[in-house]
Amino acid sequence: MNALEVKNLTKTFEVGKSLFTKGQGVKAVRGMSFDVRDGETLGIVGESGCGKSTLARMLVGLLPPSEGEIQIEGKVQDKASPREFGQMIQYVFQDPISSLNPRKTIREIMETPLKRLHGMGKAERNKRISEIFASVNLRDEFLTRYPHEFSGGQAQRIGIARALAAAARILILDEPVSALDVSVQAQVLNLLADLKKEFGLTYLFISHDLAVVEAVSDRVMVLYFGAIVEVGPADAIFKHAKHPYTKLLADSAPVVGRSLEAPKQKADELPDPLNPPKGCPFAKRCIYATDICTTTDPALTEMGDDHFAACHNPIKG
């Protein structure tokens, strides 16, 4: 069974709307369809403005989709309600400190999902919090402290613990380590891997760091300008990229032993969301673009073992 199925998910924001004028629709997410398999880690990469945060907020019910359908563990969610979503799918935020209320103790923060989502009594709550804290390697004495007393890595563990407290089986990890120092990053990534094994979790791992995504994911999905451009197995997608954008990303990442050279592209500006181009949004930057690219937006098609890309002129090999 699939943990998550998304069909034609679209989000249109109205900009420039006022009392008298009708706003213009800007599509932040342009019809995404994908599955997340039970127990897998699906990595999501893309640069700023690609729609990954909007997608994530829709998946947890914080933002109602404009079109399309979200199915969580076989159940269709027709209404964006964080309360209902929260028991099935939880969110770990990028900035661990600002995701914790500065005026509440860690115990109060941890208790909320247990009380509000599961209606647990006090004794039961305390027991559960101790269990969760033990599994994220935090000591119980932290419970009486306030968020500002913690380092970034510890605060992120608390954020993960809160997500676990809701007992959801799917976690959306939105850049969970990008605010952390590299030595702490590895601790948190390893913890996430252990928790996944222990509780049988499914992860959507959003990051801009290709190396981190490759290290933790089973499959990777590449987003560009609000749409999926490529999705495939993590060990193949960067090595044998089909879509020129994926290749551009992979070639741009700084790697020890590779000489410094900005990869070729024709232009480097993202398309204007207020005035989206006809055809493939990447065509203007793409060195492989042909005439068809400027007229028809390519659909996601299978181009290898479990490997899909949306491109008219995929890279061979």
Partner 1 sequence: MIQFFKLLFRNRLAGLGAVVLSVIVLLALFTPLLPLPNPNITATGDRFLPPFSEGHLLGTDHLGRDLLSRLMWGTRLSLAVGAAAALIAAFIGSTIGIVAGFLGGRTDNVIMRLVDMLMAFPYILLALAIVAALGPGLINALFAVAAVNIPFFARNIRGVTVGLANKEFVDAARLSGMSNLQIILFEILPNVLPVIVIAMSTTVGWMILETAGLSFLGLGSQPPQADLGSMLGEARAALITSPHTSIVPGIMIFLIVMSINLLGDGVRDAIDPRLKSGALSRPLPATIVERDSTPPVPSDDLLALQDLRTEFHVGDRTYKAVGGVSLKVNKGECLGIIGESGSGKSVTALSVMGLVASPPGKIVGGAVSFQGHDLVGASYDELRELRGDRVAYIFQDPLSTLHPLYKVGDQLIEAMQAHRKMPEKEARARAVELLESVRIPNAARRVDNYPHEMSGGMRQRVSIAMALANEPDVIIADEPTTALDVTVQAQILTLLDDLRRERDLAIVFITHDFGVVAQLCDRVAVMYAGRIVEEGPTAAILDDPQHPYTKRLMACVPELGGGKRELHAIPGLPPAVDRLPQGCAFAPRCNFAQDVCKQGDIELEANGDRAVRCLFPDKVSQTEVTS
Contacts with partner 1 in 187-226 (CB under 8 A)? 187, 189-190, 193, 208-212, 214-218
**Position 104 contacts partner 1 (CB under 8 A):** yes
Cβ contacts of 131 within 8 Å, gap of 6 or more: none
- 5 or 47: CB nearest partner 1: 47
Q: Which one of the spans 24-32, 71-79, 255-263, 286-294 is the region binding partner 1 (CB under 8 A)?
A: 255-263
How far apart, in whole angstroms, are the C-alpha atoms of residue 132 and residue 185?
20
26 vs 193, beta carbon nearer partner 1: 193
Distance CA 73, CA 169 (A): 9
Question: Of residues 107-146, which lie at the interface with partner 1 (CB under 8 A)?
Answer: 112-113, 116-117
272 binds partner 1 (CB under 8 A): no
End-to-end CA, the chain: 32
Q: Considering the complex, what minimum distance in angstroms separates the CB of residue 223 from partner 1?
A: 12
**Closest CB to partner 1 among residues 31, 215:** 215
Among 26, 167, 184, 315, binds partner 1 (CB under 8 A): 184
Count interface residues toward partner 1 (CB under 8 A): 76
Quote the least distance from Cβ 295 to partner 1, whole Å. Answer: 25
Select the residue interacting with partner 1 from 153, 176, 281, 314 (CB under 8 A). Answer: 153
